Chain A
């Protein structure tokens, strides 16, 4: 399911990709890598708050992971920028 999401994402079908990621996460909620992919996708689509939530949740499973920290930081920055 995660791979399907990546394929949709690569072909630009972001909504389908998001749906595939969410389905995969429903089956395996601790799959941090999927959360990273979903969070990145959400940030691309402009949903910074949810992207940050995904990053935060993934960091509980993969603490300290650079890519997740960067996603969290970028999401937060975008979210704060938007709120100003």
Chain B
């Protein structure tokens, strides 16, 4: 047994190195994961693993070779299985040894940089696991395997049915009781709650029936073969591989935006290798301890002590697992852990139920009778929603419609949601719509055709001194943490003072969650699509065109768009050499002031674009300081601490501008590219979702006094960061208010003009940069609807209620309406960026959105 434990440890070590290598290479397959984790070297232990990868690989190889000692011992064998085992082991030692030796000569992982080699490396890293498993199967004796998997098919099926019933029933009852305890139904809610209970019973019965059908089919298929023990093993490995690969492909890899082809390839390979690893360990496991249990006839029914422990564990399981999602919540990608937890819970429940079933005498059952439970579950799945709908019709109580009842009482329970997603895609769920969005989110295979931007490229004829322009796009800055937007905030006095002489836009949003699209959207002055930030982006770069046309010099600290600027653009990069994640507003501002002083004799105006990362979740999470003001008012202390610091620096910069007599002739914009979830509903960060705190932004704009007298605006109108560049064009006297979606529109119009109320009537598509999440802002930003494909959920918010809005129930009508508009808007913007005709008409961009976000202004100008 000790030998086996050593063998097991060695194999697990080898498996860990192979899986880590594959995981690192897979991260390189995703632009998002590469930018988020690899490029900023976010986790030191990953960097350390990569730097020492050749040593780790050698260690794994050195550990794996002794585990093949049996195969090497068959050197003299001339034919048959033993000969093949020996040859395979030698081939393994030579081939893998050569690869490891090459890694010493030329390390591979440190040179992976998000390039095409990532996928082959991810696949190749898993090959040794499969190879070792093949050798293990050749080494294991057929007698060992035959004895291990001997069984009696009929009794096995009967017990399986009983076990599935017990497992399904116990987890359904457990979670339902938990749900009732956490939110007890009261008064007239009882009827809705009962519908939910029956509906979730149907879902759980359906899931149990599927498990029974799959495992039962496996048993039956193996029983019909000539070598049942062999087929039993092979089918078990295939099922495990399929389950692992599907879990990775559907639940894990999309959350880090791995493109579909690499995701499918890595998932399949990982599924095969992990299942093979487990199978290899299983066949090499000594049989002695198992032989009595496996080969003996079914044990007779035991006493209370035999079934009490598994029964108690089964009852406790839902209670134990219900607390774990809360523990997982502070971690990013908690929902992946949640899904894994559900699978583990189900597997544990089934294992415990099998132990219970083993204690029951199960008589040979008829194969026809075995079909009854799955058919009953199917009937229940079909009948319950129909019955509930009819009942809702009779009683006029819409709350007992399956969709509403489920959303109200069961959608928050991960187990039921998961079962609904798997089996019926939830009542009211439109699978075709989800597939449509999934295909768009995964990346359209048609190449982009990046258009020429629609703004004027000639210098304006506006008279007077051109103002300096300072754009502060502070990554992850939340508006409810700023005093102009929240009176409870006391820690941003400088921004408060700045806001007094400025326009504070109260209804500003980003069109995109996360920087990868949000930043290009600002520069383009338009909503964008994935893939737009690539060579060719310069055609769409309206801010750069503005800089060049108006004769500005650009001072920039930005890591998203900077590398796509034209070489002819006069740009000075502030604080070069500092990794993007470490960019600091205070340092940037010191450098900017030094730059202004150093170039005081240059008559050209300055346009500065700074996007510091002080408040990014990577900086504030788990680090930063503690701030008493934050603690006492429910703000996130590390965030408050970082914000206080940059507020002071911002105040100093405004003072520096005033001291240099530049402030009164400056346009200063304080905003962010996106917000951040700081623990709301258990979410942290902004990468893959579109919650109100992520898409709602601060937007404070200071314009020179002379200009201020000439303009008006609507501070309550829905504003986007993509409106900033059109605003700059308009403030320089260009006419840009006739350009329609996906372009933005000027925030200011001449004071004699009317700011159109078109945004009160239009719908605006929001997309996440990395995750498959699509949102719709309607009614001047008062209503938000989000389809989150990562979580397979819909959210609806009333944004008039509080800084974070109030989540509402998604009714079938609301779902239908929003899904239709989202679909239209996605098609419209895809059409815009993939148009092949001779010319585009931006005004045709949105089918339901504003044709042109214009002001009724005639030919008037500033």
29 A-B contacts, Cβ less than 8 Å apart?
A28-B760, A28-B780, A28-B782, A30-B506, A30-B715, A31-B757, A31-B760, A32-B714, A32-B716, A33-B754, A60-B715, A61-B714, A61-B715, A62-B712, A62-B713, A62-B714, A62-B715, A62-B755, A63-B503, A63-B712, A63-B715, A64-B711, A64-B712, A64-B751, A65-B712, A65-B751, A65-B754, A65-B755, A66-B712
B751 touches A61 (CB 8 A): no
A31 to B709, CA, bound (A): 22
Q: How does the 8 Å CB contact mask read for A60-76 relative to B, with 1 for contact and 0 for none?
A: 11111111010000000
Counting CB contacts under 8 A, is B752 at the interface? yes
Chain A residues near B780 (CB-CB < 8 A): 28
Measured between C-beta atoms, what is the minimum distance from A21 to chain B in Å?
14
A70 shortest CB reach to chain B, Å: 10
Nearest CB in chain A: distance from B783 CB, A: 12
Complex interface bits, B320-351 against A, C-beta within 8 A gives 1, otherwise 0: 00000000000000000000000000000000
**10 shortest interchain CB distances as A-B pairs:** A30-B716, A65-B712, A64-B712, A66-B752, A61-B716, A66-B751, A64-B751, A62-B714, A61-B715, A62-B712
B731 CB to closest chain A CB (Å) equals 14
- Residues on A with C-beta less than 8 A from B760 are 28, 31
Bound CA span A69–B711, Å: 13
Docked complex Cα distance between A56 and B755 (Å): 17
User: Given the complex, which residues of B lie within 8 Å of A30, measured CB to CB?
Assistant: 506, 715-716
- What total of A-B pairs shows CB separation below 8 Å? 40
**B-chain residues with CB within 8 Å of residue A69 when the two chains form the complex:** 751
State A32–B755 Cα separation when bound (angstroms).
10
Smallest CB separation, B574 vs chain A (Å): 33
Complex: chain B residue closest to A69, CB-CB: B751
- Interfacial chain B residues near A65, Cβ < 8 Å: 712, 751, 754-755
Tell me, rounded to whole Å, the shortest Cβ–Cβ distance linking B581 to chain A: 38
Cα distance A39–B715 when bound, in Å?
Answer: 19
Query: In the complex, what's the smallest C-beta–C-beta distance from A36 to chain B, in angstroms?
Result: 9
Shortest beta-carbon distance, A54 to chain B, in Å? 15
Task: Please give me the residue from chain A that is nearest to B757 by CB atom.
Answer: A33
Contacts of B754 in A (CB 8 A): 33, 65, 67
Residues from chain B with a CB closer than 8 A to the CB of A32 are 714, 716
CA distance A60 to B503 in the complex (A): 10
User: When chains A and B are docked, how far (Å) is the Cα of A64 from the Cα of B714?
Assistant: 10
Which residues in window 40-84 of A have CB below 8 A to B? 60-67, 69
A31 to B712 CA separation, bound complex (whole angstroms): 15
Name the B residues within 8 Å of A60 (CB-CB).
715
Task: Tell me the minimal C-beta distance from B663 to chain A in angstroms.
Answer: 20
Q: Within B696-726, which residues are at the interface with A (CB < 8 Å)? A: 708-709, 711-716
Within the complex, the shortest CB–CB distance from B612 to chain A, in Å, comes to 30
Which residues B809-847 have CB closer than 8 A to chain A? none
A22 to B428: give the CA distance in the assembly, Å: 37
- CB-CB under 8 A from A62, the residues of chain B are 712-715, 755
For the complex, give the distance between the alpha carbons of A9 and B708 in Å. Answer: 34
Bound state CA distance, A65 and B715, in angstroms?
12
CA distance A81 to B506 in the complex (A): 37
A63 and B757 within 8 A (CB): no
Contacts of B711 in A (CB 8 A): 64
Chain A: CB-nearest residue to B711:
A64
Question: Which A residue's beta carbon lies closest to that of B715?
Answer: A61
Whole-angstrom distance between the Cβ of A71 and the nearest chain B Cβ: 13
**Most chain A beta-carbon neighbours within 10 Å: one of B716, B752, B782:** B716
Point out the residues of chain A lying under 8 angstroms from B506, CB to CB: 30
A-contact 0/1 string along B496-537, CB 8 Å cutoff: 000000010010000000000000000000000000000000
Q: Which residues of B sit under 8 angstroms from A63, Cβ to Cβ?
A: 503, 712-713, 715
A66-B755 Cα distance, complex, nearest whole Å: 11
Closest chain A residue, CB of each to CB of B755: A62
CB-defined contacts of A61 to chain B, threshold 8 Å: 714-716
For the complex with contacts A61-B716, A64-B751, A66-B751, 10 further pairs of A-B residues with Cβ separation under 8 Å are A31-B757, A32-B716, A33-B754, A60-B715, A61-B714, A62-B715, A62-B755, A63-B713, A64-B712, A67-B754
0/1 interface trace, chain B 754-774, chain A, CB 8 Å (1 if under)? 110100100000000000000
Least CB distance from B644 to A in Å reads: 29
Q: Mark B730-766, 1 if CB is under 8 A from A, else 0.
A: 0000000000000000000001101101001000000
Q: How far is the CB of B708 from chain A (nearest CB, A)?
A: 8
CA of A28 to CA of B522 in the docked complex: distance in angstroms? 28
Complex Cα distance A28/B752, Å? 23
Q: Residues of A contacting B713 with CB < 8 Å?
A: 62-63
Q: In the complex, what residue of chain A is closest to B506 when comparing beta carbons?
A: A30
Partner of B709, one of A28, A33, A64: A64
Which residues of the other chain, A, contact B752 by a CB distance below 8 angstroms?
66
B400 to chain A, nearest CB (A): 30
Cα A67 to Cα B755 with chains together (Å):
11
CA–CA, A33 to B759, complex, Å? Answer: 13
> Nearest chain A CB to B855's CB is how many angstroms away?
11
| Cβ-closest chain B residue relative to A2 | B757
User: How far is it, in angstroms, between the C-alpha of A40 and the C-alpha of B506 when the chains are bound?
Assistant: 26
Chain B hits for A64, CB < 8 A: 708-709, 711-712, 751
Closest Cβ of chain A to B647, distance in Å, is: 25
* B752 closest partner in A (C-beta): A66
Question: What's the least CB distance linking B576 to chain A, in Å?
Answer: 40
- In the complex, A46→B129 CA distance in Å? 88
Give Cα distance in the complex from A40 to B780, angstroms: 24
Residues on A with beta carbons closer than 8 Å to the beta carbon of B709: 64
Return chain B residues, CB-CB under 8 Å to A31. Answer: 716, 757, 760
Q: Which of B655-675 contact A (CB under 8 A)?
A: none
Give the residues from 514 to 570 in chain B that come closer than 8 angstroms, CB to CB, to chain A. Answer: none
Report how far A66 CA is from B752 CA in the complex, Å.
Answer: 5
Q: How far is the CA of A61 from the CA of B713 in the complex (A)?
A: 8
Chain B residue nearest to A65 in the complex (CB): B712
Q: What chain A residues lie within 8 Å of B757 (beta carbons)? A: 31, 33
Cα of A29 to Cα of B716 in the assembled complex, Å = 10
Write out the residue numbers on chain A whose beta carbons fall within 8 Å of the beta carbon of B712: 62-66
- Give B756's nearest chain A residue, CB to CB: A33
Instruction: Report the minimal beta-carbon distance from B563 to chain A, rounded to whole angstroms.
Output: 39
Residue of A nearest to B714 (CB): A62
Chain B 770-786 interface residues, beta-carbon cutoff 8 Å to A: 780, 782
Q: What is the bound-complex CA distance between A69 and B712, given in angstroms?
A: 11
| Neighbouring B residues of A33 by C-beta, 8 Å | 754, 757
Among A61, A65, A66, A67, the most chain B Cβ lie within 10 Å of the Cβ of A65
Q: Which residue of A lies closest to B710 (CB)?
A: A64
Separation of A19 and B787 alpha carbons in the complex (Å): 38
Q: Which residue of B lies closest to A60 (CB)?
A: B715
- How distant is the Cα of A56 from the Cα of B712 in the complex, in angstroms? 14
Q: How far is the CA of A30 from the CA of B711 in the complex (A)?
A: 19
A65 to chain B, nearest CB (A): 4
Q: Which of B506, B714, B760 gathers most chain A CB within 10 Å? A: B714
Which A residues are in CB contact (< 8 Å) with B751? 64-66, 69
In this complex, what residue of B is CB-closest to A36?
Answer: B754
How does the 8 Å CB contact mask read for A7-38 relative to B, with 1 for contact and 0 for none?
Answer: 00000000000000000000010111100000
